């Protein structure tokens, strides 16, 4: 089993830049294990739903503490398939946070339903339960849409406030679908992402904490009926190996080779999570007096898909870090209601989401980041901030 090397043992990039993500270091570290697993797939030739997919699903479910894990073709497909399995349709309202990636609302619109944008909490960046309650009441009173589901997003790897969100859902007869695309490995109240809502969807995009070498995702649930519907939908709506389509479905399966890659990475996933949290703690301690660092509530653990700070002069800081050879990212430049694609679903009164788009900046954080590189990032932020 490959191990995460000591943090000072890995070389810097050839051009001495520090990358926001560095998948080549991870590939080099796990190269032998990944090649062995891929060679096994090439030898048996079961490229669609081969044995590695079933093994991955078993291990994902066990890791998350969920009864069922169904591997699918991408994080967005995971959301769409979950919504389809829930019976979400045209005329239904699905409540989503306004500050997140476009795939969240896009999945809702793609099944014919209407995303309703909800403002987020200024501290956690996740869906604000109070704003959610107001949005559900407003939509129900308007009578144009049927409130049907709530889709919180675990932004940057931190699980949303599921107890409060579930309470809203129960008051209004709604179902919660967790968009856990960034949070696999995160925890809330001793439970892991994937088991925090009746049904959850995650992503294995390459830069995620657990990522494959292409697109991939999974749906996790305790519900037998939902799990069976998901399995049918991901394979053209068929049951088993027959050719009769019972329901409308998709080509939504995870490739066996991608499952092989994920199995190799899952072997060292806990070590990677520990390293992410170690780096985050160092950033917290060094930067807390000059920028707003992430707040992790008591009882929560972030998967740290991204380490995202808030700073008033964000663009100036980004320019300074770029000049210093420090990779950084703007996630996200626009709130969802500001995207042209969602102009038919525009909402007013989303001030926190709009403010965050002007202030957030993500710093390098991945398991193969060295201690000297962490120090360089810290020094560059301090220098740019005049500290």
How many degrees, rounded to 5, is the angle at CA 296 between CA 294 and CA 299? Answer: 175
All residues at 6 or more sequence positions from 215 whose CB lies less than 8 Å from its CB, including other chains: 73, 74, 75, 204, 205, 258
Q: Determine how many CB atoms are found less than 10 A away from the CB of residue 245.
A: 13
What's the pLDDT at 349? 82
Axis-axis angle for helices 256-266, 269-287 (nearest 10) = 60
Q: Is the pLDDT reported for residue 13 higher than 70?
A: no
β-bridge pairing 114-118 and 92-97? parallel
The per-residue pLDDT for range 112-154, each reduced to its tens digit, is: 999 999 999 999 999 999 999 999 999 999 999 999 999 999 9
Query: What's the pLDDT band for 11 if we cut at 50, 70, 90?
Result: very low
- Output the pLDDT for position 242: 77
CA 347 to CA 112: how far, in whole Å? 18
What's the CA gap between 362 and 78, in Å, rounded?
A: 25
273-322 pLDDT tens trace = 999 999 999 999 999 999 999 999 999 999 999 999 999 999 999 999 99
The pTM assigned to this predicted structure is 0.94
β-strand partners of 360: 310
- Written in H, E and C, the secondary structure of the chain is CCCCCCCCCCCCCCCCCECCCCHHHHHHHHHHHHHHHHHHHHHHCCCECCHHHHHHHHHHHHHHCCCEEEEECCHHHHHHHHHHHCCCCCCEEEEEECCCCHHHHHHHHHCCCEEEEECECCCCCCECHHHHHHHHHHHHHHCCCEEEEECCECHHHCCCCHHHHHHHHHHHCCEEEEECCCCCCCEECCEECCCCCCEEEEECCCCCCCCCCCCCEEEEECCHHHHHHHHHHHECCECCCCCCECCCCCECECEHHHHHHHHHHHCCHHHHHHHHHHHHHHHHHHHCCCCECCCCCCCEECCCCCEEEECCCHHHHHHHHHHCCECCECCCCCCHHHCHHHHHHCCCCCHHHHHHHHHEEEECCCCCCCHHHHHHHHHHHHHHHCC
Listed in sequence order, the residues at least 6 apart from 326 whose beta carbon sits closer than 8 Å to its beta carbon are 17, 18, 363, 364, 376, 377, 380
Q: Would you state the pLDDT for residue 196?
A: 98
In sequence order, which residues have a C-beta less than 8 Å from that of residue 130 and are 6 or more positions away? none
pLDDT band at 2 (very low <50, low <70, confident <90, very high): very low
Closest CA to 132 of 301, 340, 352: 352
The DSSP bridge partners found for residue 362 are 308, 329
pLDDT digits (tens, 9 = 90+) for 36-81: 999 999 999 999 999 999 999 999 999 999 999 999 999 999 999 9
């Amino acid at each position: 089993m490959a191990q995460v090397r000591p943090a000072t043992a890995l070389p810097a990039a050839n051009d001495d830049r520090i990358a926001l993500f560095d998948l080549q270091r991870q590939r080099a570290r796990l190269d032998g294990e990944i090649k062995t697993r891929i060679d096994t797939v090439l030898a048996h030739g079961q490229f669609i739903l081969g044995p590695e997919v079933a093994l991955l699903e078993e291990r994902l479910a066990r890791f998350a503490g969920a009864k069922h894990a169904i591997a699918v073709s991408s994080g967005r497909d995971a959301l769409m398939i979950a919504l389809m399995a829930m019976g979400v349709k045209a005329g239904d309202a699905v409540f989503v946070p306004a500050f997140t990636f476009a795939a969240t609302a896009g999945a809702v619109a793609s099944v014919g339903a209407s995303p309703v944008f909800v403002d987020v909490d200024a501290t956690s960046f996740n869906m604000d339960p109070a704003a959610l309650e107001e949005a559900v009441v407003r939509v129900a009173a308007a009578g144009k849409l049927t409130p049907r589901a709530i889709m919180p997003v675990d932004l940057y790897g931190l699980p949303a406030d599921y107890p409060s969100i579930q309470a809203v859902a129960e008051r209004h007869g709604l179902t919660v679908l967790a968009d856990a695309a960034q949070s696999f490995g995160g925890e809330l109240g001793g439970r892991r992402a994937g088991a925090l809502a009746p049904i959850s969807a995650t992503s294995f995009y390459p830069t995620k904490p657990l990522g494959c070498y292409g697109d991939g995702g999974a749906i996790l649930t305790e519900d037998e009926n939902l799990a069976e519907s998901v399995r049918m939908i991901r394979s053209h709506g068929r049951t088993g190996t027959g050719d009769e389509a019972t329901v409308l479905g998709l080509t939504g399966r995870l490739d066996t080779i991608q499952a092989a890659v994920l199995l190799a990475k899952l072997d060292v996933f806990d070590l990677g999570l520990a390293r992410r949290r170690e780096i985050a703690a160092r950033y917290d301690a060094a930067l807390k007096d000059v920028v707003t660092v992430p707040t992790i509530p008591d009882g929560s653990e972030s998967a740290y898909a991204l380490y995202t700070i808030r700073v008033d002069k964000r663009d100036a800081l980004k320019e300074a870090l770029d000049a210093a050879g420090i990779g950084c990212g703007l996630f996200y430049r626009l709130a969802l209601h500001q995207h042209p694609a969602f102009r038919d679903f525009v909402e007013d009164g989303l001030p926190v989401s709009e403010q965050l788009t002007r202030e957030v900046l993500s710093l390098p954080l991945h398991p193969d980041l060295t201690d000297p590189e962490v120090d360089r990032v810290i020094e560059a932020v301090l220098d740019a901030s005049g500290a």
